[in-house]
């Protein structure tokens, strides 16, 4: 696990965008796993800038979103469908037929989730999965006690997650569709973004804590290629901060491309 701490979220977001851009330049037909929420917005802004100003071509890219609320229509501005279009997809040249987002309004959820898994496999698997982390240490909507072998499915939201959603107009969602931990771990490269004091404790549990279903992000410790991008606030409680910095310094000598450096 490569843990990289930047002074600010803005600088970290540019680094994250460079990692995504290098993946696309290496393979024009890359498959990206997309997250929503606040953490990846700066990354998406920078990719949009690269597309417009540096001619980064995303026409061959396929995307799969991590999750979606159940019980609110796709037209609702706070669905992840609406958010990912507003913050990213509407501003780049990814083909609409190549962007995949779970549908929280279908009638047969079990079939829909199985088909989502099949679509990921048919695309060749996810090359780079972007992740955020919740206050309980969850990734996607894999709330505490989620199976570490879980697949795309319906998941009941925790009280903490529901409380975080109080800003949603209308009925607050209590159920979501999410990629499972097992699905996420099959991606070739995982990139976790976490910023601000509110994420500091969750980051410690994910990066340095025990492997446990109570903190689904701790499952990332089992993956062979994980990049964790933090600002100073999110990294504040890490006990192995100095060692992580030494690893980054050595990586800069031998594999600088892993650090998102231009």
What confidence tier does 172 reach under pLDDT thresholds 50, 70, 90?
A: confident
Distance CA 255, CA 250 (A): 8
Q: How confident is the model at residue 166 (pLDDT cuts 50, 70, 90)?
A: low
Question: What global pTM score does this model have?
Answer: 0.96
Tens-place pLDDT, residues 178-192: 999 999 999 999 999
Contact between 143 and 156 under an 8 Å Cβ cutoff? The reply is yes
Q: Whole-angstrom Cα distance, residue 146 to residue 214?
A: 7
CA distances from 39 to 13, 156, 234 (A): 9, 23, 11
Average pLDDT, integer, range 147-162: 94
- Report the distance separating Cα 61 and Cα 236, nearest Å: 35
| pLDDT at residue 193 is higher than 80 | yes
92-137 pLDDT, tens per residue? Answer: 999 999 999 999 888 899 999 999 999 999 999 999 999 999 988 9
Phi, psi at 152, each rounded to 5° = -60, 130
Which residues have a Cβ under 8 Å from the Cβ of 256 and sit 6 or more positions away? none
What SS3 string covers the chain? CEEEEECCHHHHHHHHHHHHHHHHHHCCCCEEEECCCCCCHHHHHHHHHHHHHCCCCCCCCEEEECEEECCCCCCCCCCHHHHHHHHCHHHCCCCHHHEECCCCCCCCHHHHHHHHHHHHHHCCCCCEEEECCCCCCCCCCCCCCCCCCCCCEEEECCHHHHHHCCCCCCCCCCEEEECCHHHHHCCCEEEEEECCHHHHHHHHHHHCCCCECCEHHHHHHHCCCEEEEEECCCCCCCCCHHHHHHHHHHHHHHCHHHHCCC
pLDDT band at 156 (very low <50, low <70, confident <90, very high): very high
Which one, of 188, 151, 193, 224, lies nearest residue 15 by Cα?
A: 193
| 128/40 Cα distance (integer angstroms) | 14
Please tell me the predicted confidence (pLDDT) of residue 72. Answer: 85
Q: What is the pLDDT of residues 197-254, one digit of tens each?
A: 999 999 999 999 999 999 999 999 999 999 999 999 999 999 999 999 999 999 998 8
Distance CA 7, CA 255 (A): 22
Domains and CATH numbers, the chain: 2-259 (3.40.50.1360)
Q: How far apart are CA 166 and CA 236, in angstroms?
A: 28
pLDDT of 51 above 90: yes
Q: Band of the pLDDT at 176, cuts 50, 70, 90?
A: very high
Cα gap 150→134, rounded to integer Å: 18
CA distance linking residue 84 with residue 73, whole number of Å: 15
């Amino acid at each position: 696990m490569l843990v990289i701490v930047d002074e600010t979220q803005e600088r970290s977001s540019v680094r994250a965008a460079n990692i995504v851009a290098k993946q696309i330049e290496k393979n024009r037909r890359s498959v990206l796993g997309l997250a929503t929420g606040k953490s990846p917005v700066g990354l998406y802004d920078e990719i949009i800038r690269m597309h417009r100003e540096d001619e980064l071509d995303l026409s061959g890219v396929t995307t799969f979103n991590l999750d979606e609320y159940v019980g609110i229509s796709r037209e609702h501005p706070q669905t992840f469908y609406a958010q990912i279009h507003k913050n990213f997809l509407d501003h780049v040249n990814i083909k609409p037929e190549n962007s995949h987002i779970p549908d929280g309004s279908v009638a047969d959820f079990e079939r829909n989730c199985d088909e989502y898994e099949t679509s990921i496999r048919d695309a060749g698997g996810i090359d780079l999965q972007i992740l955020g982390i919740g206050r309980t240490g969850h990734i996607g909507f894999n709330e505490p006690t989620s199976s570490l072998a879980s697949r795309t499915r319906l998941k009941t939201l925790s009280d903490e997650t529901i409380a975080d959603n109080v800003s949603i107009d209308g009925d607050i969602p209590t159920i979501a569709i999410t990629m499972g931990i097992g699905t996420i771990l099959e991606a070739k490269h995982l990139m976790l973004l976490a910023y601000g004091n509110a994420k500091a404790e969750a980051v410690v549990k994910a990066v340095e804590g025990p492997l446990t279903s109570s903190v689904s992000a701790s499952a990332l410790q089992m993956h062979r290629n994980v990049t964790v991008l933090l600002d100073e606030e999110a990294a504040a409680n890490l006990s192995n901060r100095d060692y992580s910095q030494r690893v980054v310094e050595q990586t800069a000598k031998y594999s600088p491309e892993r650090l998102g450096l231009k």
